[in-house]
Structure 1
Amino acid sequence: MNKPFISLRPEITRTHAFTLMNWMKDERVTRYLSDSSSVSRFIEQAVDRAQMPILTHLFNQGGRFFMAYDRSDRPVGFVRLVKSGADCEIVLVVGEHDNWGQGLGGSTIREGLKLAFLDMRAENVVAKIHPNNTRSLRGFERCGFHLQRETPTLNSLAMSAGRYRQLLRDGAMAGSAEIYVTEIDKARLQSLMAFEEEAPRVDLEHEIERAIVVEPQRVAGDVVTMNSRVVLHLDDEREEVALVYPQDAEDRARKLSVLSDIGTAILGYQEGDAIDWMVTDRTRRIRIEKVIYQPESSGDLHL
């Protein structure tokens, strides 16, 4: 585990709203939030007006709002993405002061960038930060943002889509181990995503973009490639699964589509690797115990 794990989840409940209200009462949290008073007022009004348990639609007015969860599935902050034309502004808060300085901010920024560039298709992501908020400035700069404009009251930092993809390929955005994909698998998966427009492709596109591309004949025999059969541990459960294309998926035979949560998660990893991943609605620990069949090492390059 190289970096803290963060997942961004779009569903906002009344319980989340009360948690947000508590965070916004802490002056250390709101000190550099330019719209902290209006945000607090909005949350209070949303709770008072809507008696329903799910408030997602209210929080998504004018942008997209996500709760940030840590590895233990506890809410630790939030991200708001507001797209205007080709640009997307990112606002994030790590809510508990005790969690500051643990790398959660950087992981949250990287997850926000993934959504802004690969889901919302922004051309640029902008962060507007108070000059005295040195912790946030350092966090965004470490993630690859460049200072675009500076005033006595506001620094604007930005990252382009091209720079983001280059940082992915260079490994600077990775939250876990390096992964490998063959030239053939990459071409097929990119074609799959192009035609399967309704498929949940953000995580898969992210993994393919950051993967080290190798020739099929040169991929290590313990790497999970397409149509590999693998023994893995899902938390404490040991399973044997095959990683397949969507048309070959079959639950009973444990043939997992590469578009499924676990399928996307294990692509390109090696024996002994372990990753944290969102599976359905909670974080699971996935460890690759053994690759028991890999097409490339068996000479089945047509698969």
Structure 2
Amino acid sequence: MTKPFISLCPEITRADAFHLMDWLEDEQVTRYLSDSRHVSRFIEQVVGRVQLPILTHLFNQGGRFFMACDRHDVPVGFVRLVKNEADCEMVLVIGDRDNWGRKLGASAIREGMKLAFLEMRAERLIAKIHADNARSLKAFERCGFLIQSDTPALKSLAMHSERYLRLLREGTADEATGIHITEIDQARLRHLLALAHPSAVFELEHEVERATVVEPHQVPQDVVTMNSRAVVRLDGEAVEVALVYPEEADDSAGKFSVCSDVGTAILGYKEGDAFDWRMTHRTRHVQIEKVLYQPEAAGHFHL
């Protein structure tokens, strides 16, 4: 069975606005949304007033707005993140009812947590959910949220950053295939992350935090570690890739920075692993076909 997959796309197009209007006209979708009429009117005004193909800046007023897209980049819902000092509130809607019950909500929540904690640097993420909205309550609880307050009308659930990182490291806050990195790579990558702007490398930070860390002598020989070379299939096209640190990157020579889309995607995966990964402007299917060279397997532990 194919694992649920959602990517959160920050660019909001005019076509996306029409999707949103359709969803917000569905009473089953808006049943538990307290401000659905306000949002619907706002979108209608935007579409009628602004004749632009890209509407991102209008939707990001007062918060961050994302279209929740499936592995084919088809919008199935939306996520809104509103940060207020150390707290961030998440609103999640799977608007396409054909996708209800497929655990896409939980996948969207995990992507929202990644953004809230690793890019936006929130200390606490909150979700306020109608007490009768059993589907949403179950999805947030499955992702590790805990109930903070409970009234007959509304339940408030929260996740703290410390708990998120602990669950991520334990593998309970993420359903992606497990990856491995060496202790040396982890130390070097954390140093790199400390020097970088969080918004530029939050995906890499997520991978470093969730990885199983092993001693260099114990890493399996078919794992893509730093300075490895591998044959990778991107949407079926075979490409030879060397995974390097930013200062050594040269895309024309097949040397991809670990901070790049491709570099972050393949870090820690092993031969035979196949997965979907959101890259710039689209989702791509990635398969690790063959590890041609791994420093640890060759005894080159200084690399």
What TM-score, normalized to structure 1? 0.98
- Aligned residue for 2:243? 243
Contact preservation (8 Å) 1:193, 1:199: no
Query: 1:26 and 1:199, CA in 2 relative to 1: closer, same or farther beyond 3 A?
Result: closer
The answer as to 2:302 corresponding to 1:302 is: yes
Structure 1: segments with no counterpart, 5+ residues: none
C-alpha separation in 2, matches of 1:199 and 1:101: 32
Amino acid of the structure 2 residue aligned with 1:142: R
Counterpart mapping for 1:42-121 below 5 A = 42-121=42-121
Contact preservation (8 Å) 1:148, 1:157: yes
- Aligned residue for 1:226? 226
Q: Any idea what SS the aligned residue of 2:299 has? A: coil
- Aligned residue for 1:25? 25
> Which is worse superposed, 232-241 or 189-198?
189-198
Q: Any idea what SS the aligned residue of 1:205 has? A: helix
CA-atom RMSD in angstroms: 1.1
Q: Any idea what SS the aligned residue of 1:91 has? A: strand
C-alpha separation in 1, matches of 2:198 and 2:3: 31
C-alpha separation in 2, matches of 1:30 and 1:174: 28
How far has the Cα of 1:11 moved from its partner? Answer: 0.8
Q: Any idea what SS the aligned residue of 2:93 has? A: strand
Contact preservation (8 Å) 1:82, 1:90: yes
C-alpha separation in 2, matches of 1:16 and 1:2: 25
- Aligned residue for 1:126? 126
- Aligned residue for 1:213? 213
Amino acid of the structure 1 residue aligned with 2:193: M
Q: Deviations over 1:66-103 (max 9, x none)?
A: 00110111000000000111110000100111110001
Amino acid of the structure 2 residue aligned with 1:282: R
> Which is worse superposed, 66-75 or 40-49?
40-49
How far has the Cα of 1:198 moved from its partner? Answer: 6.9
C-alpha separation in 2, matches of 1:142 and 1:208: 23
Contact preservation (8 Å) 2:119, 2:198: no
Amino acid of the structure 2 residue aligned with 1:302: H
Contact preservation (8 Å) 1:274, 1:288: yes
Q: Any idea what SS the aligned residue of 2:252 has? A: coil
How far has the Cα of 1:55 moved from its partner? Answer: 1.0
- Aligned residue for 1:179? 179
- Aligned residue for 1:283? 283
Q: Deviations over 1:86-132 (max 9, x none)?
A: 11000010011111000110000000000000010000000000000
Structure 2: segments with no counterpart, 5+ residues: none
List structure 1 runs of 4+ shifted beyond 6 angstroms.
none
How far has the Cα of 1:292 moved from its partner? Answer: 1.0
C-alpha separation in 2, matches of 1:67 and 1:126: 19
Amino acid of the structure 2 residue aligned with 1:239: V
What TM-score, normalized to structure 2? 0.98
Contact preservation (8 Å) 1:2, 1:176: no
How far has the Cα of 1:199 moved from its partner? Answer: 6.8
How far has the Cα of 1:284 moved from its partner? Answer: 0.7
How far has the Cα of 1:204 moved from its partner? Answer: 0.3
How far has the Cα of 1:236 moved from its partner? Answer: 1.4
C-alpha separation in 2, matches of 1:21 and 1:232: 40
Q: Any idea what SS the aligned residue of 1:289 has? A: strand
Contact preservation (8 Å) 2:24, 2:30: yes
Contact preservation (8 Å) 1:228, 1:294: yes
Q: Any idea what SS the aligned residue of 1:288 has? A: strand
- Aligned residue for 2:41? 41
Q: Any idea what SS the aligned residue of 1:252 has? A: helix
Contact preservation (8 Å) 1:199, 1:259: no
